[in-house]
Amino acid sequence: MRTMRNDLLEPASAAAPSVTTPGLGAVGQEAVGRADGGAGNVAAVYNRAGDGYTAYADGDPERLFAFEGAHAYADRRLWVLLESKLIALQAQGQTSLSLLDAGCGPGAWLRRLVIRARQLGFTRIAARGFDVAAGQVQAARRLSRELGAQSGVEMRFEVADLSRPLPEADASVDIALCLYSVLSHLPTAELPRIAKELSRVTRGWFVTTVRVVGGPPTVFVDSMENAAYFHHDHSSDQCEVQLRNGRFFVMNFHLFEPAELQACFGAHFTVEDLRGLDLFHSRFSRDSRWNPPDLTADAGFLGDLEWLEEAYARRAGFMERATHLLLVGRARG
């Protein structure tokens, strides 16, 4: 069980934010999703996040490869991995490509993959993304309109729920994604069936990232600095968040252990890699709450952090404290 008041993380001179009693929205404030943690509740929270979520999660949507969002280090490492899979497919002589992003949000990862695939010479690219939040799907369609109009490119974004069967044919997807907390919002009882369904449609690789049981906290749609109150009960997978702007919401949110993720997807994929992602970079970032403002992140310092990441990313006791867990699965047969 984890509870945080943000005034405890700030200098004493800062104005203390209001604190809402767990489970109760303050009078006159927007309250979302107190009833249950289902897909409709998750959709409502992300719909209300609007374009602000795009900036928080991915940085400037016009600078896709700058990797300057909230998860910049993890994004860069994830992109190196995904680009290597595109290059591997190209090296096999493949000229067509099928992509799927389950829980696509505003579509940044599909756009990155499609842009790079075109640069590598793929002549036919079919990419489908879906999300429970209609607002995020609308953003993905808008931001992908020009790219989707390119010759040989088909991009579709739809409102759909990962708990339902996928329309893709068996072994039809080259790269399937399910990134950044999507699986954490689903009931754990449904995960084995979802893993099996994702393996059914995948002929290449499945890549997922999830939040880990000992990692730093998150409030999903905004940075932690904008949280006035946060309470996560791991035993019930319920998280309550009060943002400074008055929004209050409750969401299903499950924190994974490495062995749990391995067991779930290892039953259907050959697991190529399972590692912690971002054990040190976020913790040693320039943040005046715990690091001096004159801290310099020179090449030597960043090199040391990179060495630490590689040295400890797969070690038991450290993986559980990463910001994310990364699993890469290869289709069997």
Least confident stretch, 166-180, 216-230, 259-273: 216-230
Give a yes or no: residue 42 inside a domain: yes
First and final CA of the chain: distance in angstroms?
42
CA 177 – CA 162 distance, rounded (Å): 12
pLDDT in tens, 127-144: 999 999 999 999 999 999
Closest CA to 205 of 33, 48, 35, 82: 82
Give a yes or no: residue 74 inside a domain: no
pLDDT in tens, 179-218: 988 999 999 999 999 999 999 999 999 999 999 999 988 8
Give a yes or no: residue 213 inside a domain: yes
Give a yes or no: residue 331 inside a domain: no
CATH, residue 109: 3.40.50
Containing structural domain, residue 251: 2-7+27-57+92-279
Give a yes or no: residue 114 inside a domain: yes
| Mean pLDDT on 238-260 | 92
Looking at the 3D structure of the chain, how many domains does it have?
A: 1
CA 147 – CA 154 distance, rounded (Å): 9
User: What residue type is assigned to position 128 of the chain?
Assistant: R
Give a yes or no: residue 291 inside a domain: no
The pLDDT value recorded for residue 5 is 46
Give a yes or no: residue 239 inside a domain: yes
Least confident stretch, 8-12, 85-89, 137-141: 8-12
Give a yes or no: residue 326 inside a domain: no
The pLDDT value recorded for residue 255 is 95
CA 71 – CA 197 distance, rounded (Å): 28
Q: For residue 238, is pLDDT > 60?
A: yes
| Mean pLDDT on 251-275 | 96
